[in-house]
A and B are shown apart, each in its own frame.
Chain A
Amino acid sequence: MHLAELLASSFRMAIPILLTALGAVYSERSGVVNIGLEGMMIVGSFWGALGSYFYGPYVGFLVAMLAGIVLAIIHAIASVTFKVDQIVSGVALNILAYGSSRFMSQAIFKMATTTPHVAGLVKINIPGADSVPYLKPLLTGISPIIIITILLVPISEFIINRTVFGLRLRAVGENPLAADTLGVNVFRMKYAGVLISGMLAGLAGAYLAMEHTGMYVEGMTQGKGYIALAAMIFGNWTPSGALMASLLFGFAESLSFRVVENSFIPYQFIKMIPYMLTLIVLAGFVRKSTPPAADGVPYERNAG
């Protein structure tokens, strides 16, 4: 069948999940659970569209990342500095993101749930794609964000495993007291992890609004932030694991688009495919998942 077509579609569906999941890896490795990723994607999609509408796509992406970072700062202040329960803070952010986007949309565009059409980045054609007939759908008309995201996987893998920053980030997530004793600034590392996750989630939201659809529609993230969190856990808190998990989600979803309703398969079953497939793979690859030891636990300096 149109295998390359299916793969290209899988990539398009997987990219926002992957970007957000990569961010989640940074945040969770520093020991902060970030359930506010969905909210950061929402503000990313809205502010990206807003920035692109007024100043063009490049500013749009910058504004989207900033919006994600602003939400992440709130999350970091609440959960790192003041040690509020990380889940509570994240849920509050999701509601704030939803409400504030609707409010701003109404205030600026006089429409609560959509913005006007906005421009995206110029699509890239990889040279020589025409000579490989089977891969053409994979190599032509792709968004630069897709390439950046794929590149981010090895880069993140390197940063987390091979650099001083990554080592400290992991140390803070595993045993903050030990890291602190060795002179690592625990709070600064946690802030860095959370802010990176906000930036990437904002970028992912902007990708949906600007690159995929060309417009912001309220609720267009459709819970992808939560799926990204699941993909990160499924990927065992590593960037390459997140890549595999996101691709699986994307593949399952675009596969479900291609199964046509017939007398054997009822329609509702087709819509279940992504979730069924994920469950099957999850059950089939029973691995021991190993979260960072101090994940979700606020670090109290004078507690120990």
Chain B
Amino acid sequence: MQFTKKILIVGLALVLLVSLVAGCGQKPATEQKQEQAPAQQQEQQQSQQATETEKIKIGLVFDVGGRGDLSFNDSAYAGLERAQKEFGDKIEVKYLEPSAGGENREQLMRLLAEDGYNLIFGVGFMFTDHIAKVSQEFPDVKFGLIDGAIDGLKEDSNVSCLLFKEQEGSFLVGAAAALKSKTGKVGFVGGMKSPLIERFEVGYLAGAKYINPNIGTMVDYIGTTGDAFKDPVKGKELALKQFKAGADVVYHASGASGIGVIEAAAGEKKLAIGVDSDQSLTAKEDQRKYILTSMLKRVDVSVYNTIKAYLDGNFKGGYQIFGLAEDGVGYAVNDYNKDMISDIQPKLEELKQKVIKGEIKIPMDKKEYEEFLKTLSK
């Protein structure tokens, strides 16, 4: 009895170990073999380096929600995919997913840097502190930080912060929501309560109020941690609440939680607005007619451009900002929503030009939003 008990304890420990390894980030199938034999790993790598010295290694670590969130992370992945397609013979690509809570972000960044990766992306503002740290330890490695800003970078720094004017894209979809709303009420469901997501919120509210100063607005956030980006259950309940309270268009900025928002809109036969990726394309067949449009945040373009610049030898540190003028943000028009949106498109294009010319100043936080409302009432 004692003996079998010991065997079982060892067995359980093994199960723990295996599941931890399985949980610690996924690699493309071909590379998984390496992990099983750490002793062989070095040999293999050395021979690999000998044969593939010219190949530039590009790594990417996803944010909470991961690949398949049909939103933010998938947009980053699309950029990586495009680069691989176009420069496949010159680059070697690897992507990793952090653990469920994202605690091992820094570890994964360091792992890639130690593995000799030349250009490493961190997808999401949660990487800000980690990249600030790791980039100092590996001065020869270049880093791309999406959505995060590290202070004091220069053009010759090894970190490039890829920032977006989310408020500009959100302003346009806010205007679209107000133009399409019949009840005179529109809603917003945010993921993690943070300055970044608040930029989506105030941009959207400003756009709606710009079209109709008397429009009713509802705002809800799912949570205060990264988990808020992968809680479709709460996303759906919050959206349902807004729909039942009279809203007929709801915009979400909540990553994978937004799947629940779209589900709620389809169930209530009201409209949802997607975020980051064109979510009409990834939604279920019968949900598509309930997605008015999506606020596009071209993370894919920023990733692709950075890779391209690196390959051309033009990698620039510092801050790259993508707004309406750079086509870094926008709203989606596709086969599924073009009939829904065609009547308001001229208006949206007019607003877009105004924003690009600087005729409309879009607020970036709550304070600026209050001031924006005052200018409207004049």
Interface residues of A (CB under 8 A from B): 2, 5, 9, 12-13, 78, 82-84, 88-89, 92, 95-96, 98-100, 102-103, 106, 109, 111-115, 117, 137, 141, 208, 212-215, 217-220, 222, 254, 257-258, 260-261, 267-268, 271
Q: What are the 8 closest A-B residue pairs judged by CB atoms, nearest first?
A: A99-B19, A111-B68, A113-B66, A114-B68, A99-B23, A103-B22, A99-B22, A213-B232
Question: Hey, what's the 0/1 contact readout for B225-246 against A, CB within 8 Å counting as 1?
Answer: 0010011111011101100110
**Could you show 19 A-B contacts with beta carbons less than 8 Å apart?**
A95-B16, A98-B23, A99-B20, A102-B22, A111-B66, A112-B66, A112-B67, A112-B97, A114-B68, A117-B283, A208-B233, A213-B260, A215-B259, A219-B230, A220-B231, A220-B232, A257-B237, A261-B219, A271-B224
Q: How far is the CA of A104 from the CA of B16 in the complex (A)?
A: 16
Kindly specify which of B5-13, B203-211, B370-378 makes contact with the partner chain: B5-13
Whether A95 and B8, one on each chain, are in contact in the complex, defined by CB atoms closer than 8 angstroms, is no
For B19, list chain A residues within 8 Å (CB): 95-96, 98-100, 103
Q: How far is the CA of A83 from the CA of B5 in the complex (A)?
A: 8
Question: Hey, what's the 0/1 contact readout for B21-36 against A, CB within 8 Å counting as 1?
Answer: 1110010000000000
Q: How far is the CA of A114 from the CA of B232 in the complex (A)?
A: 11
| Any A CB within 8 A of the CB of B221 | yes
| Any A CB within 8 A of the CB of B365 | no
CB distance from B141 to the nearest CB of A (A): 24
Which of A114, A254, A258 has the most chain B CB within a 10 Å cutoff? A114
Q: A92-B15, A106-B26 are in contact. Are A84 and B233 (CB under 8 A)?
A: no
| Any A CB within 8 A of the CB of B116 | no
Which residues of B from 212 to 229 have beta carbons under 8 Å from A?
218-221, 223-224, 227
Among A95, A96, A117, A213, the residue within 8 A (CB) of B236 is A213
For B283, list chain A residues within 8 Å (CB): 117
Whether A2 and B237, one on each chain, are in contact in the complex, defined by CB atoms closer than 8 angstroms, is no
For B245, list chain A residues within 8 Å (CB): 2
Q: How far is the CA of A200 from the CA of B245 in the complex (A)?
A: 34
Q: How far is the CA of A164 from the CA of B5 in the complex (A)?
A: 32
Question: Hey, what's the 0/1 contact readout for B282-311 against A, CB within 8 Å counting as 1?
Answer: 011000000000000000000000000000
Query: How many chain B residues have a CB neighbour from A under 8 Å?
Result: 49
Whether A84 and B8, one on each chain, are in contact in the complex, defined by CB atoms closer than 8 angstroms, is yes
Among B16, B69, B219, B227, the residue within 8 A (CB) of A113 is B69
A6: nearest chain-B partner, CB-CB: B241
Q: How far is the CA of A9 from the CA of B284 in the complex (A)?
A: 24
CB distance from B152 to the nearest CB of A (A): 31
Given A82-B5, A100-B19, 6 more A-B residue pairs with CB atoms under 8 Å apart are: A9-B241, A13-B233, A113-B256, A212-B232, A212-B260, A213-B260
Q: How far is the CA of A99 from the CA of B24 in the complex (A)?
A: 8
Q: How far is the CA of A100 from the CA of B17 in the complex (A)?
A: 12
Which residues of B from 248 to 293 have beta carbons under 8 Å from A?
256, 259-260, 263, 267, 283-284
Whether B68 and A96, one on each chain, are in contact in the complex, defined by CB atoms closer than 8 angstroms, is no
Whether A92 and B16, one on each chain, are in contact in the complex, defined by CB atoms closer than 8 angstroms, is yes
Q: How far is the CA of A267 from the CA of B236 in the complex (A)?
A: 19
Q: How far is the CA of A277 from the CA of B66 in the complex (A)?
A: 33
CB distance from A220 to the nearest CB of B (A): 6
Question: Hey, what's the 0/1 contact readout for B117-140 against A, CB within 8 Å counting as 1?
Answer: 000000000000000000000000
Among A13, A88, A219, the residue within 8 A (CB) of B227 is A219
Q: How far is the CA of A78 from the CA of B12 in the complex (A)?
A: 9
Q: How far is the CA of A113 from the CA of B22 in the complex (A)?
A: 13
For B12, list chain A residues within 8 Å (CB): 78, 84, 88-89, 92
Q: How far is the CA of A117 from the CA of B22 in the complex (A)?
A: 24
Whether B233 and A109, one on each chain, are in contact in the complex, defined by CB atoms closer than 8 angstroms, is no
B235: nearest chain-A partner, CB-CB: A213
Among B15, B23, B240, the residue within 8 A (CB) of A9 is B240
Whether A141 and B267, one on each chain, are in contact in the complex, defined by CB atoms closer than 8 angstroms, is yes
Whether B26 and A102, one on each chain, are in contact in the complex, defined by CB atoms closer than 8 angstroms, is yes
CB distance from A190 to the nearest CB of B (A): 16
CB distance from B164 to the nearest CB of A (A): 23
Q: How far is the CA of A257 from the CA of B187 in the complex (A)?
A: 14
CB distance from A213 to the nearest CB of B (A): 4
Among B218, B223, B241, B284, the residue within 8 A (CB) of A117 is B284
Q: A217-B259, A220-B231, A222-B227 are in contact. Are A257 and B219 (CB under 8 A)?
A: no
Q: How far is the CA of A111 from the CA of B68 in the complex (A)?
A: 6
Q: How far is the CA of A100 from the CA of B67 in the complex (A)?
A: 17
Among B18, B234, B236, the residue within 8 A (CB) of A99 is B18
Whether B256 and A257, one on each chain, are in contact in the complex, defined by CB atoms closer than 8 angstroms, is no
CB distance from B22 to the nearest CB of A (A): 4
